[in-house]
Structure formats: structure tokens, C-alpha cells
Amino acid sequence: MANPSLLILAGDGIGPEVMAEVKKIIGWMGAKRGVTFDVTEDLVGGCAYDKHGVPLHDDTMAKAQEVDAVLLGAVGGPQYDTLDFSVKPERGLLRLRKEMDLFSNLRPAQCFDALADFSSLKKDVVAGLDIVIVRELTSGVYFGEPRGIFVEGNERVGINTQRYTESEIARVARSAFELARKRANKVCSMEKANVMESGILWRDVVQEIHDKEYPDVQLSHMYADNGAMQLVRWPKQFDVIVTDNLFGDVLSDCAAMLTGSLGMLPSASLGAPMANGRPKALYEPVHGSAPDIAGTGKANPIACILSFAMALRYSFDMGEDATRIEKAVEQVLADGLRTADLMGPQDGTPISTTQMGDAIVAALDASL
């Protein structure tokens, strides 16, 4: 069988710095686990603009469509702020998401015990937390027509339209149910069916897909505003949350902060299955290019490393190795190793990006 293939797009700022640590783990997988990835590297974002005048070259787009999974670092930086909107670094990322049709965005919120004190919530509320928010990513109010700012009478009116088709709801619901089956088998769907027709349809379709295809999964429904309250009150009641694009944007950022630092948060964006049965997939840390610390060796590589672990789990059916990486991360944190973002000013000396990567590789070695 062909080797699993990966396209690495490290991007700008700290993107290449954190990706360098992921490459150590890819190397470790080859040397110690006998899994060799066919890795291609290319440019996205500002660095692609510098070379090609566009933030994503057509050849790179074509490669992204061919590989089993894309791993992305981060894009952007202040030197690109004045560029025309059409060639801004972020457009490269948006083009990937759109043309790969990545409709299901998985944002885990996992709290490692060693960092529970770092959360803004009480330790028992977050210690051991492990939930995933599945956000619909390609439709809803960010895309619906009509949209725009119009003049009506003697004033302006701003319009966006929440619009969901049955099939758009069904496919993201399926991806949440599939995910739940690999986890605690529980899905909570969030909308505002009390005040929005699109929410009524959302609730009905999620229930129908459940009853027909996933009756074994425990399903509940919640209004999204209550969902926000429940997330900060007792987040451990959830396993998988599925919601629309707008509510998902807000709820996933809220859930993310339960766990502490931006430097710890991975994500996956999945599309329809390809011919080989694997979903189209892009994995990336939630954080950006962090120009304020780029080049200083301060970046925390864990978000990017955990994104690679998600790739192992969701694209390559290597859940055991994904867990091994997560456990290695847990181990180095339990040993007290911290990059600067994971400590307060009085907490001692932080370690560097490369030291964190090396420590995780050492913990992986120790796990064999």
C-alpha cells in the first residue's frame, strides 16, 4: 500500500518554527513506529505572495486536493496588512477551505491536568475536560444571500442571511455522529429553534439523521445561548457539540479558553470522503502567526503537534499513535516543562520551541 501522504504548508511568522517540531515527530514515526509519510512542502500566505504574487499558487491548490491530509502552520503578518484584500495571506487559507469544501471544523477543548490551574475557571470544572465542538464551516450567515449594506429610505441597512439546506445540515451532523462513535458516543446539537426557522430545520434534520443512521449515539438538543452558559458552568457534561457556523465560531472560542493558552489548541477541518475513503482534511493550530514573538524561539509548538495527532486519528486511523502523542504532551507538562505562554512572570524559566519539541520526542521514546 502507498505511504500516507502529507502536504506541509508552514506559512508565516511562527508557522515554520512550530512546524519544525512537528517534523521531528513525523521523523520519529518513521524511525520508531515504521510509518513513513510522503511529505511535500509548499508555500501559503505571505511567503507565497512574496514568491508568486498570490497567497496560494494553483499548483499548491492542486497538490492539496491530491494528498491524504494538509498540515498548515499559520499565515499573516504586519508587513502584509496593506496588501489588497484579494491577495491577503488569509485568502490563501480561505481558498484551501473553500475549494477542498471543508464543511466540518473540529475544535477540541482538552484540559491537561498540569495546566488546570491556568484556566480562568475553577480547577474541578476543567481538570480532565475533553470535548470537541464541530462547527459547520462553509455555509450559514457568513455566506447566505442577500448580504450587503443597502440604503432604505433615509438610512443604511446591513443585511446578512442565515441559510442552511437540508443536505448541508445532514453532512455536518453525520461528521459529528461519526466522531462521537470514536469518543464517548454523545452529541449535543445547538441552535436557536425557539426564534429561528433555520434552527427548527437544523434540529429536525439532526434528529432525522440520528434516528435513521446513528440511533446508537446519545443525542440531545440545546439552545445555543443556554449552551454558552452550560459550557462555562459544567463543560464536562458534553462530549461532541455540533452547531452552525456563527454559533460555532463563538462557542468554540469560548470553549477553547477553558483550557488556558492559545498555544495549546489544535483544529481539523474535514470535507467529503475521497476515493480512498479518507475525508478531505486540513489540520492547523488555532493560533495565528504571532509576529510579536516570531524568531525569538518562544512559540509553543504543542498546538501544531496536537493538530498532527488529530491527523493521525481522523485521516490515518492511527488513533493509538495520536493518543501516544497526547500522552507525551501530558507527560512533559506534568514534568513541569513550560513554554513562556504557559507560565506567569513568577513561574521560573521557560523552555524554547525546540526544547519543547525535543522533550516531547523524548517522552515518545520513553513510551515505547
Annotated binding site for Mg(2+): 225, 249, 253
In the region spanning residues 295 to 334, those forming contacts with ligand NAI, defined by CB under 6 A, are 299-300, 303
Positions in 209-268 near ligand NAI (CB under 6 A):
262-263
**Binding of ligand NAI by 287 (CB under 6 A):** yes
3-state secondary structure the chain: CCCCEEEEEEECCCHHHHHHHHHHHHHHHHHHHCCCCEEEEECCCHHHHHHHCCCCCHHHHHHHHHCCEEEEEECCCHHHCCCCHHHCHHHHHHHHHHHCCCCEEEEEEECCHHHHHHCCCCHHHHCCCEEEEEEECCCHHHCEEEEEEEEECCEEEEEEECCCCHHHHHHHHHHHHHHHHCCCCEEEEEECCCCCHHHHHHHHHHHHHHHHHCCCCEEEEEEHHHHHHHHHHCHHHCCEEEECHHHHHHHHHHHHHHHCCHHHCEEEEEEEECCCCCEEEEEEECCCCCCCCCCCCCCCCHHHHHHHHHHHHHCCCCHHHHHHHHHHHHHHHHCCCCCHHHCCCCCCCCCCHHHHHHHHHHHHHHCC
**57 versus 287: smaller Cβ distance to ligand NAI:** 287
Residue positions forming the annotated binding site for substrate: 97, 107, 135, 225
Partner that binds at residue 293, options Mg ion, ligand NAI, none, CB closer than 5 to 8 Å by kind:
ligand NAI
341 is known as an active-site residue: no
> Which residues are annotated binding-site positions?
77-90, 97, 107, 135, 225, 249, 253, 288-300
Query: Distance between CA 94 and CA 122 in Å, rounded?
Result: 36
Q: From the CB of 15, what's the least distance to ligand NAI, in Å? A: 7
- Least distance to ligand NAI from the beta carbon of 81, Å? 7
Answer for which of 29, 288, 316, 364 binds ligand NAI (CB under 6 A) is 288
x/- track of binding to Mg ion for residues 232-271 (CB under 5 A): -----------------x---x------------------
Looking at residues 3 to 22 of the shown chain, list those that interact with ligand NAI (rule: CB under 6 A): 14, 18
The answer to whether 130 is a known catalytic residue is: no
Is 225 among the residues known to form the active site? yes
Q: Compose the 66-95 pattern: x for residues touching ligand NAI by CB under 6 A, - for all others.
A: --------xxxx------------x--x--
Give whichever of 153 and 348 is closer to ligand NAI, judged by the CB atom: 348
Nearest distance from C-beta of residue 128 to ligand NAI, angstroms: 23
Closer to Mg ion by CB, 244 or 249: give it. 249
User: Which of 17/191 has CB closer to ligand NAI?
Assistant: 17
Distance from C-alpha of 272 to C-alpha of 361, rounded to nearest angstrom? 33
Size of the residue set binding Mg ion (CB under 5 A): 2
Catalytic residue ranges: 142, 192, 225, 249, 253
What is the binding site for ligand NAI (CB under 6 A)?
A: 14, 18, 74-77, 90, 93, 262-263, 284, 287-293, 299-300, 303, 341
